[in-house]
């Protein structure tokens, strides 16, 4: 990846084609994906007596959905591409940001959705009981922080997102293309910037993000996380597997909120098949159970290659009490 010199002043514009830009996400955000955009109370996920996902972080002031999550992933990706600017500032054309998120050119509807999703991220407060975001470490109080502290939309982007029906395809292209004037600028929260600089980030492939939605996206992010304690599969030494009890709390932690056990298994099986089609490293993603039997999710994947270079990183922000 081509490095951009570290800067502490002025937003940085990044013009590398979105199709070749590697994706990066902090492991906390990736692991909590299902909780961050699922409705209802969050759950906790425990595997082999190890708590993988916790339920104490709460989003207040906005309802995060799938698109705000993807926009957040895009901002972190660009933050890494900017070589971790210490002031957390970044800038991108709307067209480049849109192709990163959707994989295609940005039209009028998606322009409005992009602006709305950025506003949702700006409004959302993270409430972190038991964690001190100012000093770091555990606390008997609660921390309140935003991931995005400032946003700026230039007039061209505001015009394109205004619902002006007089703009044709060429008009949108002039405003939102890579060389067009339509830009968005942002500044990430200082605490979050420090966390990104100190933690080991999780790499992902944007082409897979473009293929996945909803529960399937959340499952893919969670089960590609290094936090998941996979073990060697008995049937094949190149495979590894993990089994998760599908308790109500585990299901909520993974973004599945159906009331009936059978309905939850169907959701996992359907979403798991979408994950398997999008990512060939996953060989099986199946929910099992039935009348009188405990339900569980079995995930089998090929062992990942360990030759992926991490970006420059010097803790990571705990979304819950340590």
Q: Are residues 67 and 200 in the same domain?
A: yes
Residue finishing a domain among 166, 190, 211: 211
Q: Are residues 195 and 67 in the same domain?
A: yes
Q: Is there a domain that residue 3 lies in? A: no
Q: How confident is the model at residue 318 (pLDDT cuts 50, 70, 90)?
A: very low
The answer, yes or no, to whether residue 180 has pLDDT greater than 80, is no
Task: Give the residues across from 90 on adjacent strands.
Answer: 186
Select the more confidently predicted residue: 311 or 251. Answer: 251
Q: What is the pLDDT of residues 119-149, one digit of tens each?
A: 988 988 777 777 777 777 777 888 788 889 9
The residues, any chain, with a CB within 8 Å of residue 111's CB and separated by 6 or more, are 94, 98, 157, 160, 161, 172, 176, 182
Q: Are residues 45 and 169 in the same domain?
A: yes
Query: What DSSP line would sit under 211-245, residue for residue?
Result: H--HHHHHHHHHHTSTTS--EE-TT-TTEEEEEEE
Q: Are residues 207 and 265 in the same domain?
A: no
Beta strands in the chain (DSSP E): 23-25, 45-47, 50-53, 58-60, 89-93, 125-131, 138-145, 148-153, 183-188, 202-204, 231-232, 239-245, 282-290, 293-302
Q: Is there a domain that residue 52 lies in? A: yes
Q: Is there a domain that residue 309 lies in? A: no
Q: How confident is the model at residue 296 (pLDDT cuts 50, 70, 90)?
A: very high
Select the more confidently predicted residue: 237 or 59. Answer: 237
Q: Is there a domain that residue 12 lies in? A: no
Q: Is there a domain that residue 206 lies in? A: yes
Q: Are residues 101 and 158 in the same domain?
A: yes
Distance in angstroms between the alpha carbons of the first and the last residue of the chain: 33
Q: Are residues 198 and 247 in the same domain?
A: no
Q: Are residues 104 and 224 in the same domain?
A: no
The answer, yes or no, to whether residue 321 has pLDDT greater than 50, is no
Query: What DSSP line would sit under 169-209, residue for residue?
Result: HHHHHHHHSTTSS-EEEEEE-HHHHHHHHHS-PEEE-HHHH
Q: Are residues 99 and 149 in the same domain?
A: yes
Q: Are residues 200 and 250 in the same domain?
A: no
Q: How confident is the model at residue 220 (pLDDT cuts 50, 70, 90)?
A: very high
Q: Are residues 189 and 167 in the same domain?
A: yes
- Half-sphere exposure of 299 toward its Cβ, with a 13 Å CA cutoff? 27
Distances (CA, A) of 237 to 231, 240, 283, 303: 10, 8, 13, 9
- Per-residue pLDDT, averaged over 71-86, amounts to 91
The answer, yes or no, to whether residue 6 has pLDDT greater than 60, is no
- What is the residue range of 242's domain? 214-302
Query: The whole model's pTM is what?
Result: 0.79
Q: Are residues 48 and 129 in the same domain?
A: yes
Q: For the ranges 77-81, 108-112, 255-259, which has the lowest average pLDDT? A: 108-112
Residue finishing a domain among 211, 242, 264: 211
Residue finishing a domain among 159, 191, 211: 211
Round the average pLDDT of the chain to a whole number and report it.
Answer: 77
Q: Is there a domain that residue 260 lies in? A: yes
The answer, yes or no, to whether residue 39 has pLDDT greater than 60, is no
Q: How far apart are CA 278 and CA 223, in angstroms?
A: 14
Q: Are residues 29 and 77 in the same domain?
A: yes
The residues, any chain, with a CB within 8 Å of residue 98's CB and separated by 6 or more, are 104, 105, 106, 110, 111, 114, 176
Q: Take residue 163 and report the two structure tokens written for it.
A: 């619902």
Number of domains in the chain: 2
Q: How confident is the model at residue 319 (pLDDT cuts 50, 70, 90)?
A: very low
Q: Is there a domain that residue 42 lies in? A: yes
The answer, yes or no, to whether residue 288 has pLDDT greater than 90, is yes
């Amino acid at each position: 990846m081509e490095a951009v010199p570290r800067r502490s002043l002025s937003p940085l514009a990044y013009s590398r084609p979105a199709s070749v830009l590697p994706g990066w996400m902090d492991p906390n955000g990736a692991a909590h994906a299902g909780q961050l955009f699922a409705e209802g109370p969050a759950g906790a996920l425990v595997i082999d007596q190890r708590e993988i996902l916790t339920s104490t972080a709460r989003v207040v002031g906005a309802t995060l959905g799938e698109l705000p999550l993807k926009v957040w992933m895009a901002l972190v990706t660009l933050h890494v591409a900017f070589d971790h600017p210490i002031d957390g500032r970044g800038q991108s054309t709307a067209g480049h940001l849109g192709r990163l998120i959707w994989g295609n050119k940005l039209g009028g509807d998606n322009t409005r959705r992009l602006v709305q999703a950025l506003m949702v991220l700006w409004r959302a407060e993270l409430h972190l009981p038991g964690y001190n975001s100012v000093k770091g470490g555990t606390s008997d109080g609660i921390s309140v922080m935003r991931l995005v502290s400032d946003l700026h939309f230039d007039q061209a982007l505001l015009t394109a997102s205004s619902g002006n029906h007089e703009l044709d395809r060429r008009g949108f292209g002039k405003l939102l293309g890579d060389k067009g004037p339509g830009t968005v600028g942002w500044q990430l929260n200082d605490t979050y910037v420090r966390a990104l600089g100190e933690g080991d980030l999780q790499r992902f492939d944007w082409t897979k993000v473009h293929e996945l939605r909803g529960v399937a996206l959340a499952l893919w992010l969670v089960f590609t996380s290094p936090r998941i304690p996979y073990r060697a599969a008995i049937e094949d030494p190149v495979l590894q597997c993990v089994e998760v009890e599908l308790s109500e709390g585990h299901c909520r932690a993974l973004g599945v909120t159906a009331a009936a056990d059978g309905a939850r298994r169907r959701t996992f099986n359907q979403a798991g098949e979408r994950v398997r089609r999008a990512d060939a490293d996953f060989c099986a993603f199946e929910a099992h159970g039935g009348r009188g039997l405990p339900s569980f999710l079995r995930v089998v994947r090929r062992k990942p290659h360990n030759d992926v270079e991490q970006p420059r990183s010097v803790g990571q922000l705990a979304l819950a009490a340590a």
